[in-house]
């Protein structure tokens, strides 16, 4: 098992990519803290893992709140004495063209996607520094290349890339790697609201001709969290079916 007895926090574990990642990690031997702002969803993911004889526990977290992020890490350390892997997956979108985008739409996306990633990274990096090991994987997006109606989302994810690369430099001497995954179109609850016609046009633009499955993103999370990726840090990996090629 590639993550045998590793302690992993996965934010946004209640659905989509986060849930797929939590399930995959548990199947590879990790003890998974299923963190989500939706407490019931986090509990459902943890229960599914335990039903499959894996190890997990749920914890409610609002990543946009620094105190909540700190409590997530403190509780993990109190129970398990260490933290080996952090997957920062929690995120939201509030799409609108710039001329129609309200300030609260901008603030909400930045506070969860960018500040939320900072909050959990800041709390998790300290024990990783002390134990001289760790894996952090943040979530960017193909939207960083620009996407109509997503100025707030694109800006937040571009910020995540800058944060990731800087943290990679600062934490390398502590043997903590920091990378980011930039998914393209993934079949998750976040994309479920795309109108059928728009989704059809999107798929036509993807060279591989389909949206990704959450499990395919989880597979890369697993690799970056494993010992096999010990020499990879500061990287942003696009998982988009070729959509960004030539963009």
pLDDT tens digits, one per residue of 27-52: 999 999 999 999 999 999 999 999 99
The pLDDT value given to residue 195: 82
For residue 8, is pLDDT > 70? Answer: yes
Nearest to 198 by CA among 139, 148, 145: 148
For the residues 166-188, what does the mean pLDDT come to?
97
pLDDT tens digits, one per residue of 137-175: 999 999 999 999 999 999 999 999 999 999 999 999 999
Whole-number percent of the chain with pLDDT over 70: 99
C-beta neighbour count of 4 within 10 angstroms: 9
HEC letters along the chain: CCCCCCEEEEECCCCHHHHHHHHHHHHCCCEEEEEECCHHHHHHHHHHHHHCCCEEEEEECCCCCHHHHHHHHHHHHHHHCCCCEEECCCCCCCCECHHHCCHHHHHHHHHHHHHHHHHHHHHHHHHHHHHCCEEEEEECCHHHHCCCCEHHHHHHHHHHHHHHHHHHHHHHHHCEEEEEEEECCECCCCCCCCCHHHHHHHHHHCCCCCCECHHHHHHHHHHHHCHHHCCCCCCEEEECCCCCCCC
For the residues 58-82, what does the mean pLDDT come to?
98
The pLDDT value given to residue 247: 60
For the residues 57-70, what does the mean pLDDT come to?
98
C-beta neighbour count of 235 within 10 angstroms: 15
pLDDT bucket at 101, cuts 50 / 70 / 90? very high
Catalytic residue among 25, 106, 118, 153: 153
The pLDDT value given to residue 192: 77
153 is catalytic: yes
- Domains in the chain, please, with CATH? 7-187+214-239 (3.40.50.720)
């Amino acid at each position: 098992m590639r993550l045998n007895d590793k302690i992993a926090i996965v934010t946004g574990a209640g659905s989509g990519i986060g849930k797929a990642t939590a399930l995959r990690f548990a199947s590879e031997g990790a003890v998974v803290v299923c963190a989500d702002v939706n407490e019931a969803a986090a509990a459902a993911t943890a229960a599914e893992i335990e039903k499959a004889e894996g190890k997990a526990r749920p914890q409610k977290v609002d990543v946009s709140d620094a105190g909540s992020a700190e409590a997530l890490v403190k509780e993990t350390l109190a129970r398990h004495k260490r933290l080996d892997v952090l997957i920062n997956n929690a995120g939201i979108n509030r799409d609108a063209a710039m001329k129609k985008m309200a300030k609260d739409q901008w603030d909400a996306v930045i506070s969860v996607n960018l500040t939320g990633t900072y909050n959990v990274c800041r709390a998790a990096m300290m024990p990783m520094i002390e134990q001289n090991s760790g894996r952090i994987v943040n979530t960017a997006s193909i939207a960083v290349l620009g996407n109509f109606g997503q100025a707030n989302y694109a800006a937040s994810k571009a910020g995540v890339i800058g944060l990731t690369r800087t943290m990679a430099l600062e934490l390398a001497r502590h043997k903590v790697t920091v990378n980011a995954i930039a998914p393209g179109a993934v079949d998750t609850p976040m994309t479920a609201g795309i109108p059928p016609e728009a989704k059809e046009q999107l798929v036509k633009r993807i060279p591989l001709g389909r949206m990704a499955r959450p499990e395919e993103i989880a597979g890369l999370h697993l690799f970056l969290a494993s010992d096999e990726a010990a020499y990879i840090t500061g990287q942003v990996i696009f998982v988009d079916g070729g959509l960004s090629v030539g963009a």
